[in-house]
Structures are given as structure tokens and as C-alpha cells.
Amino acid sequence: MITPLEKSCEANMPEGCRFLSLVHWNGEEDRKANPELAEKACELEDAEACWLLSTWYIGPDADFVTLGATKAKHSSHLGKLPRNIDLAIKYGIRACDFGCFQSCANVSRLYNLGDGIERDPVKAKLYLDKAKEAYKRALSGDKVDFTG
């Protein structure tokens, strides 16, 4: 399973790099996370890879709130990167710019709470509005791509 993904990533196919990064992330216990593969996919304009990187750098201990949910424990089978809000914002904004509404919402939340960065209600609203617009586009099936 890994060899075709490696070949597709070497051929600069972003999905191959993203899926290969997930194989490493979700792999065997204590397998080293490989963010470089997701970074390559993100540089190749794969919105989901940028979003994954952002969430990985936010980390599993972030203060996301889901009503009625209990916080899951981190599994030893999942990768883990050191929390880095600067990189989380960088990749989150890139994914948001590619139309990933989840990432726009995450960036909004980081700015709204001041989670690892200075609280900025103006930027929080900007990214919340982008999240709403991207969500509407996703529901309508209207995807923005390189043809505009």
C-alpha cells in the first residue's frame, strides 16, 4: 500500500503525499509522524493537507468545545507534533484560502480565544465570515478551483 503512495508523492501528486502522511500519522504504535509529506501536499495546493497540518500543530489538547462530548484520550497509534500556533495559523490560513471551511473556523477560534496568539476579534470575525461563505459553497457544490 505504501509504495504506490510514495511513487505518487514523488511524482508531485498532492493526494498521494497527503495519504502517505496519514499512513504515518495513523500508523503503528510509536511510528514517527512525518509532517514533511503533508507540507509537500500543502505546497502543491492540497487544501486538506494544509488543514491537517494546522490541526496537527494546534495539537490534541486545544480547547475545542463540542456540547455533550467528552475529550478523547490521545492514542499511541496517532502521530503527535509539538504545539506550534504560528505554523497552525500559517497552514490554517492557507487551507482557508483554498476554501476549507473547517480551517477558516479553526483560525477564527484561535483568534477569538487568543489560544497561543494575541486575541484579535477583528481577525476572528474575518475568518468566521470566510468559514460561513466556504461552508455555503461546500453545501452548494460550488467549488473554487484553478479555473475560477
Q: What are 23-75's pLDDT values in tens digits?
A: 878 866 555 667 899 999 999 999 999 999 999 999 877 665 544 555 555 55
Domain range list for the chain: 2-60+78-140
CATH second-level architecture of 2-60+78-140? Alpha Horseshoe (1.25)
Residue 3, pLDDT score: 83
What H or E segment, with its residue span, contains residue 95?
helix 85-97
For 84-119, write each residue's pLDDT tens digit: 999 999 999 999 999 999 999 999 999 999 988 999
Task: Provide the whole-model pTM.
Answer: 0.81
Decide if pLDDT at 144 tops 80. no
Decide if pLDDT at 147 tops 50. no
Three-class DSSP category at 99: coil
Among 53, 146, 145, smallest CA distance to 102 is for 53
Q: How far apart are CA 81 and CA 84, in angstroms?
A: 8
